Structure 1
Amino acid sequence: MKALITTIVKPLVDYPEDVVVTENEESNKIVYHLTVHPDDIGKVIGKNGRIAKSIRTVVYAIGSDVKKRIYLDIM
């Protein structure tokens, strides 16, 4: 899942080397934290959060096989 998030985000940003995805797994959920360069935050979020919503939709759809709830935080 981390590779999927990285693959989606890297072409969107100006500093692809600063894209970091960390995973925090708890008993009933998995939280992925996406960190990008400060200049790229707007590119990942998009106008009115459209790009962020699209990324989350893809991640949630792929993660529907997992019994745990999946979250994506953009930092």
Structure 2
Amino acid sequence: MVARIARAMVEHPEEVSATLGEDRGEPCVDLMVAESDRGQVIGRGGRGAHALRILLRAATGPRSAGGLGLRVVD
């Protein structure tokens, strides 16, 4: 779901992928995008990434209850 939404936000959708990973021992989605598209996904003041995190929380629940976090990586 996160990768599909991110593909709509970027100029190089073929370079978007999402995998499960860990951040400080907690499960998260690692969203990989082209370096030139990273700013579009993160957005001004982090608004894009924040919106993706809200959608992810709605789908999986809060991190404290076993839900997933989001990390944007190169």
Cross-structure match for 2:71: 73
Identity over aligned pairs, percent:
29
**Structure 1: segments with no counterpart, 5+ residues:** none
List per-residue Cα deviations over 1:1-53 (Å, max 9, x = no partner). xxx0111100110000100111126xx84211001001000100010001110
Cross-structure match for 1:47: 44
Instruction: Give the TM-score taking structure 1 as reference length.
Output: 0.82
Mapped to 1, the partners of 2:67 and 2:8 lie a distance apart of 27
- Structure 1 runs of 4+ aligned residues shifted over 2 Å read none
Alignment of 1:1-75 (within 5 A): 4-24=1-21, 29-64=26-61, 67-75=65-73
**Structure 2: segments with no counterpart, 5+ residues:** none
Instruction: Give the TM-score taking structure 2 as reference length.
Output: 0.83
- How far the C-alpha of 1:63 sits from its partner, in A, is 0.4
Q: How many residues are aligned here?
A: 70
